C-alpha cells in the first residue's frame, strides 16, 4: 500500500502568523521542519509517554537538533505554576535562548503547560505541538490558547501563543485508553452539530469503527474537527465573539466537571452539556426534536453519557454556571442551535426553560 500524504490545514489570518496543522500517520519526521531555525529543543512530555517521546527525540536528533527532554507530571497535575517553574529552571540551566524552541508531546494538559512555558520564556519562544489524544488534536493544540490552573479554578492564568505548527500523528492514538478516546470524540461530535453534519453521518454509519484509532474514518473525523476549529479560530484569533460557538455544551459541562470534583472526563461532561443545550435550543430557539434526539443517539453510540446521574442539585449547578468565567456578570449565556449547524447565543434565558431542559437530562 502506498502511504497517503499528510493533510495540511492552515490556521491564522487577519495579519496574524499562519501555522499548519498536519494530520496523518507516521508523521514524527514532520516535527523538525516546523521548528524553523531552532538549534535546540526542549521536548516536554509526561512520564507516561516517555517511550514515544524518546522515539520523537531520536527523530529530532537525526534532523540535527540538540534535544533536552523534560518530564512533567501526568495529566492535569502538569498545569501548575510549580511545574512551569521547574521547566523554566531547566531552560535556564541549559541556557535556552530565543533561537531555541519547545516541543509538547502529550495530551491537552501537556500542550497547555508547554505552550504556556513557551509563551513566557524570554517572552515567547516557538512551540510545536504533537498532541497524543483526540482532544489534544482537535481542540487543545489548535488555536493558540495556553494556560495553567490556580487554586481559584482551571485555566485562569495563561497566554495566547499560537504554535509554530501542530503535528497530529494518528498512530500515536493507538495506546490511548478507550475512555480518554471517547471523551475526545465529544469535541468531534460537537463540531458535527455546530458546523459539519457530515461528521454525524460518519459516526452514525459505523460507531464501532469510530472508536478504533486505526480506522480510516478516524482520520476523516479528526481532519473535519480540526478544520472546524481552524476556521473558527482563524476568524476570531483573540476570542472576540465567534469562538464562543466552540463552547457548545460547555456551560453546563463545566459546571458538571466542577460539581463532580473533576472526576468526570471533560468530554463526558460536555456530552451531557450538549444534550442539555439541545433541549434548551428546542425550548428557546425552535430546534427540532429529531435533532435533539440525534444528540442522544450519536453521543451514546460512542459510549458517552447523555444524562447527569451525579449527586449535585440543579441549584448547585446553576451557581457553578454563574461563576464560570464565560458568564457575563450575573447573566447566564448559552450557545444553542436553532437548526442543525446553526449556532447562536442566548443571554439570560427564562429560568423555567433552563429547569425544563435540565429535567430532560436527569430522567
Ligand atoms: N488550550 C485549549 O484551547 C484547550 C482546549 C481544550 C482543552 N484544553 C485542556 O486540555 C486538557 C485535557 O486534555 P486531554 O483530554 O488530552 O487530557 P490529558 O492531557 O490530561 O491526557 C489524558 C491522559 O491520557 C494520557 N495519554 C495521553 N496521550 C496518550 C497516549 N497516546 N497513550 C496513552 N496515554 C495517553 C495522559 O498521560 C493522561 O493521563 C485540559 O487541561 C484542558 O483544559 C485546552
Ligand atoms: Zn471542550
Report residue 76's pLDDT band, with 50, 70 and 90 as the boundaries.
very high
For residue 155, pLDDT over 80 is answered with: yes
pLDDT single digits (tens) 301-322: 999 999 999 989 999 999 999 9
Do 90 and 56 form a contact (C-beta atoms < 8 A)? no
Q: How far apart are CA 276 and CA 292, in angstroms?
A: 9
Q: Does 180 sit in the ligand 1 pocket, CB within 6 Å?
A: yes
3-state secondary structure 203-218: HHHCHHHHCCCCCHHH
Write down the pLDDT at residue 4.
84
Does the beta carbon of 136 sit less than 6 angstroms from any atom of ligand 1? yes
Do the beta carbons of residue 142 and residue 184 sit within 8 Å?
no
Give the residue, by CA position, lying nearest to ligand 1 atom 29. Answer: 176
Q: Which ligand is nearest to the CA of 146?
A: 1
Cβ of 257 closer than 6 Å to ligand 1, yes or no, is no
Report the residue among 21, 27, 44, 107 best suited for mutation to probe ligand 1: largest number of ligand atoms under 8 A from its CB.
107
**3-class SS string, 291-348:** HHHHHHHHHHHCCCCCCCCCCCCHHHHHHHHHHCCCCECCECEEEEEEECCEEEEEEC
Write the CB contacts of 58 (distance below 8 Å, at least 6 apart in sequence): none
Pocket residue to mutate for ligand 1, from 154, 180, 184, most atoms within 8 A of Cβ: 180
Q: Is the CB of 74 under 6 A from ligand 1?
A: yes
Q: Which one of the ligands is nearest to 184 CA?
A: 1
Can you tell me the mean pLDDT for 71-85? 97
Cα angle value 255/229/188 (rounded, 5°): 65
Average pLDDT value for the chain: 95
Q: What's the pLDDT score for residue 323?
A: 82
The protein residue whose alpha carbon is closest to atom 34 in ligand 1 is: 176
Give the pLDDT band (50/70/90) at residue 15: low
* Mean pLDDT confidence for 265-283: 98
Rounded to whole angstroms, how far apart are CA atoms 213 and 125? 32
Q: Report pTM.
A: 0.96
**Rounded mean pLDDT of 98-109?**
97
When comparing pLDDT for 13 and 194, which is higher?
194
Residue 42: predicted pLDDT:
98
Phi and psi at residue 11, to the nearest 5°: -125, 140
129-148 pLDDT tens trace: 999 999 999 999 999 999 99
pLDDT at position 17: 65
* Percentage of residues in the chain having pLDDT higher than 90: 90
pLDDT of residue 324: 73
108 Cβ inside 6 Å of ligand 1? yes
pLDDT tens digits along 230-242: 999 988 766 667 8
Residue 345's pLDDT is 95
Looking at residue 239, its pLDDT comes to: 64
Amino acid at each position: 500500500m502506498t502511504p497517503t500524504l499528510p493533510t495540511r490545514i492552515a490556521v491564522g489570518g487577519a495579519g496574524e502568523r499562519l501555522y499548519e496543522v498536519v494530520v496523518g500517520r507516521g508523521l514524527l519526521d514532520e516535527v523538525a521542519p516546523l521548528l524553523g531555525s531552532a538549534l535546540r529543543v526542549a521536548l516536554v512530555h509526561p512520564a507516561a509517554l516517555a517511550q514515544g517521546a524518546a522515539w520523537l527525540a531520536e527523530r529530532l536528533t537525526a534532523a540535527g537538533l540538540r534535544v533536552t527532554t523534560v518530564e512533567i507530571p501526568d495529566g492535569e497535575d502538569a498545569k501548575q505554576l510549580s511545574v512551569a517553574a521547574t521547566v523554566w529552571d531547566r531552560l535556564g540551566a541549559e541556557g535556552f535562548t530565543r533561537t531555541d524552541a519547545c516541543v509538547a508531546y502529550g495530551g491537552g494538559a501537556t500542550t497547555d503547560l508547554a505552550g504556556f512555558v513557551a509563551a513566557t520564556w524570554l517572552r515567547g519562544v516557538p512551540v510545536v505541538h504533537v498532541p497524543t489524544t483526540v482532544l489534544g488534536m482537535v481542540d487543545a493544540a489548535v488555536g493558540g490558547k495556553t494556560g495553567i490552573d490556580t487554586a481559584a479554578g482551571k485555566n485562569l492564568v495563561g497566554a495566547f501563543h499560537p504554535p509554530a505548527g501542530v503535528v497530529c500523528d494518528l498512530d500515536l492514538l493507538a495506546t490511548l485508553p478507550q475512555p480518554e478516546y471517547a471523551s475526545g470524540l465529544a469535541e468531534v461530535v460537537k463540531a458535527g452539530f455546530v458546523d459539519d453534519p457530515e461528521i454525524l453521518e460518519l459516526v452514525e454509519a459505523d460507531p464501532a469503527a469510530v472508536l478504533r484509532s486505526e480506522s480510516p474514518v478516524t482520520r476523516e473525523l479528526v481532519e473535519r474537527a480540526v478544520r472546524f476549529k481552524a476556521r473558527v479560530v482563524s476568524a476570531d484569533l483573540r476570542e472576540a465573539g465567534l469562538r464562543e460557538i466552540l463552547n457548545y455544551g460547555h456551560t453546563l459541562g463545566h459546571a458538571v466537571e466542577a460539581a463532580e470534583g473533576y472526576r468526570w472526563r471533560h468530554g463526558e461532561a460536555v456530552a451531557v452539556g450538549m444534550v442539555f443545550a439541545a433541549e434548551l435550543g428546542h425550548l428557546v430557539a425552535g430546534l427540532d426534536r429529531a435533532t435533539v434526539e440525534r444528540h442522544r443517539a450519536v453521543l451514546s453510540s460512542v459510549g458517552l453519557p447523555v444524562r447527569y446521574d451525579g449527586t449535585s442539585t440543579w441549584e448547585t449547578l446553576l451557581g457553578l454556571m454563574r461563576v464560570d468565567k464565560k458568564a457575563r456578570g450575573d447573566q447566564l449565556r448559552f450557545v444553542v442551535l436553532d437548526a442543525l449547524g446553526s449556532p447562536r447565543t442566548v443571554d439570560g434565558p427564562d429560568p423555567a426553560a433552563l429547569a425544563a431542559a435540565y429535567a430532560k437530562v436527569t430522567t
